[in-house]
A = this chain, B = another copy of it.
Amino acid sequence: MSALATKAAPFSQRLSERQARLGTRACLGLDPRPEAHPLTDPARLGAASAWDPRVVSAVGRYLSTVLEATADLVSACKPQAAFFEALGPGGLALLAELTSLARDLGVPVIMDAKRGDIGTTAEAYARAYLEDGPFAADALTVNPYLGFDTVQPFVDAAIRTGRCVLVLVRTSNPGSGDVQALELAAGGTVASRVADRLTAIAEGLEADEDGYTAVGAVAGAPRDLPWLRSALPRSPLLVPGYGAQGAAGVDVAPAFDGAGFGAVVSASRTLTNGRGFEEATTFEEVAAMARAAAAAMRDDIEAALVLRTASSPA
């Protein structure tokens, strides 16, 4: 395993620098879905389950191919822990391998695990993903339902290691309002209260050159991006939902600050399993399709940012 420097520049700064250098705000979602990808279907591989070693190996080769093919077209990658866990212990070994490969390729890793628990348990999750262990990532998504004392161990670890915590604020699923949009007696909603608390925490932290801290947020719904960007001025935003989930470049542009930083936009199915992928019969074809899809996503978002700058008042 390659050693990871623990005194690296903060995640937010590394992300912005990479986005400026490569001209891409896209994030490659890595969701192993053996039944959905070409070349990894368990039935075709003669496997009885998704956690058969042949399936895990094939899906590992598939996602490694996509990651290597798109490394210069994306500003980060985002493994979704759930799909690795569904493959059993072998899936978690694959998760460690892919995060290691991403590090070797210089692609920052956003671990989308939506963890959250109390006290020493939160510390254990922070050790698992925000310290230099086998699952070491550059950022981790975290759920705030248990309270901000449970977010703190993640923040502490992130600051110590130059990493980032991305706290769930507002998601884009149909039932996202069930808890997040509840109106409070004191005014505002649960989500706006969470955003305010995150900003209060971030105000006490050191910021990078662009004003961003180790306290980021997950901002799923395009309609909420304008207020989230303004309510969370010191937080980098992870914006999922691009492509297969419905959002285009113009929808996600409001997540970025005036200089075009402070956010990263993720797509999984669009980049690994979108239209045309089902025709692939070789890993070379998968690589070519992934490159084309990632370049299109990159260009769509960059164009939306240029358009926004051109149309904004001088």
Tell me whether B146 and A176 are in contact (CB under 8 A).
yes
**A92 neighbours in B (Cβ, 8 Å):** 88-89, 92
Residue of B nearest to A146 (CB): B171
Tell me whether B150 and A175 are in contact (CB under 8 A).
yes
Tell me whether B186 and A173 are in contact (CB under 8 A).
no
Residues 79-98 of chain A: 1 if any B CB is under 8 Å from the residue's CB, otherwise 0?
01011011011001101100
Q: Copies per complex?
A: 2
Tell me whether B128 and A86 are in contact (CB under 8 A).
yes
Tell me whether B173 and A125 are in contact (CB under 8 A).
no
**A194 neighbours in B (Cβ, 8 Å):** 179
Count residues of A near B (Cβ-Cβ below 8 Å): 62
In the assembled complex, the CB of A169 is this many whole angstroms from the nearest CB of chain B, namely 10
Known: A49-B133, A83-B124. A146 touches B117 (CB 8 A): no
**A134 neighbours in B (Cβ, 8 Å):** 51, 88-89
Residue of B nearest to A121 (CB): B82
Interface residues of A in 125-182 (CB under 8 A from B): 125, 127-129, 133-135, 143-150, 168, 171-180, 182
Task: Say yes or no: is A118 at the interface (Cβ < 8 Å to chain B).
Answer: yes
In the assembled complex, the CB of A170 is this many whole angstroms from the nearest CB of chain B, namely 10
**A168 neighbours in B (Cβ, 8 Å):** 145-146
Tell me whether A125 and B174 are in contact (CB under 8 A).
no
Task: Say yes or no: is A275 at the interface (Cβ < 8 Å to chain B).
Answer: no
Q: CA separation between A100 and B238, bound complex, in Å?
A: 37
**A144 neighbours in B (Cβ, 8 Å):** 145, 178-179
Tell me whether A183 and B180 are in contact (CB under 8 A).
no
Residues 174-211 of chain A: 1 if any B CB is under 8 Å from the residue's CB, otherwise 0?
11111110111110001001100100000000000000
Could you write out 29 A-B pairs with CB less than 8 Å apart?
A: A33-B120, A49-B133, A80-B117, A82-B121, A82-B124, A82-B128, A85-B128, A88-B96, A89-B95, A92-B92, A114-B117, A116-B143, A119-B173, A145-B145, A145-B179, A146-B168, A146-B180, A147-B173, A147-B174, A147-B180, A149-B173, A149-B174, A149-B175, A150-B173, A178-B197, A182-B182, A182-B190, A182-B193, A183-B184
Other than the given A88-B134, A89-B96, A147-B174, 14 more pairs (CB < 8 A) read A31-B124, A49-B133, A51-B133, A80-B124, A86-B127, A118-B173, A119-B173, A143-B146, A145-B168, A147-B175, A147-B178, A147-B179, A149-B173, A178-B197
